[in-house]
Amino acid sequence: MILRFGLRAFICGALLSFGTMSLARAEGTYEIPAGAHFNRDKLGKISEFFKNEVATGKIAGATVLIRQHGKPVYHEAFGVQDVVSKAPITDKTIFRLFSMSKAITSVAAMQLIEDGKIKLDDPVSKYIPSFANVKVGVEKKADDGTKSLELVPPNRPMTVKDLMTHTSGVTYGFYGDTLVRKAYRDANIYAGDFDLAEFAERIAKLPLHNQPGALWQYGHSTDILARVMEVAAGKPLLDIERETLLGPLGMVDTGFLVTDPEKQKLLAQPVPNDSDFRVGRINDPTVVKKIQFASGGMVTTMADYERFAQMLLNGGTLDGKTILKPETFKLMTTDQVGPGSGVDRDYFYFPGDGFGFGLGLAIRTDPGNAKPPPPGDLGELKWDGASGCYFVIDPKQDMFFVLLEQTPTERQRIQRTLKQLVYEAMEN
């Protein structure tokens, strides 16, 4: 306890001297653009909250952007990139996205679907033949309480849609205690230097957690989707994304590796006692490797991700460029797992109360069961990642906000608080 307190005290002392770096306002005042519906004083509570997070050593730093009607309403950075260099966070600070990588991959997949290179009802085995032999793991419990795993054939082939809706049965091995997840852990699927093709073969040898289409199940579905994309397009994932999405949007600092020594100096890091990213060792962008984890391996900057978020808020376009046609965007943002879909939800349904799920994004479909309901509007799009990064797209308010930070342990509390403060600052 003394060691932990001492470390936190050291971090606090290092960070207090830096405070915050204003990106879109003079100290104490916010320039609210014409037509925006926000209260300047209430926006200040966001600053107060993050200043306290930094001052108490819970996070090294963060950056928050709110845009409404195409203009920045609030844009501020807090703390430092890391407690060693003490360099302030800027729009060019590089953050590991973890699961917010999935949103980028899913948009690129929708582009291939739009172009007819992939179909949602295509069996995955059309592109990765080994998935034709995959089995479903069904837990059996004996009279003495011991559990065993029975392998049964799938009721139907796994499809591209199953991958995009996280109903494929492909899971992760680092949460939960089912026998299939244990099989993932025991298989050592992250060993060695491997690419998406090899990784897909490793996953195909493991049992599915559930029948295809039966349960929303978070896992490596987006990585298998990425391999499907590579086969369909005949090129590596990053090449696909650069040509069709990252390049057209001007997302110049978004990718999987950060090998330039000068760029490595821009990488944000969590505080030293908050660095458990579970698969963070595999996702270290400074280590050159073959794998491009489409489900969680990307890095970005606020300068980049705000363009991606604005494109989503615009319904698939930005600066006169069409990334997704209106009908494609509508399909992507239509709930696929709601009533009548046949998809069950369990404790690990991460979209959460009041949310459905489209083809790669969570979608607010109802107020939810909480009293009072969480803030936000129907039609809201969102996702987040294990590093704490988080974005919300609210078409009704013509508004989005993005949070970039690196804190696996504090992320859920911070994300909930930020959303509450954003909507409390809104004047309707």
d(CA 386, CA 394): 22
Q: Is the pLDDT of residue 23 over 70?
A: no
Q: Answer whether residue 17 shows pLDDT above 50.
A: no
Q: Domain segments of the chain: what residues?
A: 2-92+252-278+298-424, 106-233
CA distance 56 to 228: 45
CATH class of 106-233: alpha beta
For domain 2-92+252-278+298-424, the question of CATH label 3.40.710.10 is answered with yes
d(CA 104, CA 107): 5
Check pLDDT > 50 for residue 26.
no
263, two tokens = 């760029």
Please tell me the predicted confidence (pLDDT) of residue 277. Answer: 61
Give the model confidence (pLDDT) of 230-240 as tens digits. 999 999 999 99
Residue type, 249: L
Q: What is the reported pLDDT for 32?
A: 85
Range of lowest pLDDT (24-38, 80-94, 103-117, 130-144): 24-38
Task: Give the model's pLDDT for residue 13.
Answer: 43
Q: What is the mean pLDDT of residues 89-98?
A: 97
Q: Do domains 2-92+252-278+298-424 and 106-233 have the same CATH topology?
A: yes
Report d(CA 332, CA 369) in Å as an integer: 25
pLDDT single digits (tens) 252-295: 999 999 999 999 999 999 998 886 665 445 678 999 999 999 99
What does the pLDDT average to over 87-113? 97
> How much is the pLDDT for 18?
41
- Residue 244 is given by DSSP the state I
C-alpha distances in angstroms, 304 versus 132, 266, 282, 300? 38, 14, 23, 6
CA distance 201 to 185: 16
Helix, coil or strand: residue 131? helix
Distance of alpha carbon 48 from alpha carbon 172, whole angstroms: 37
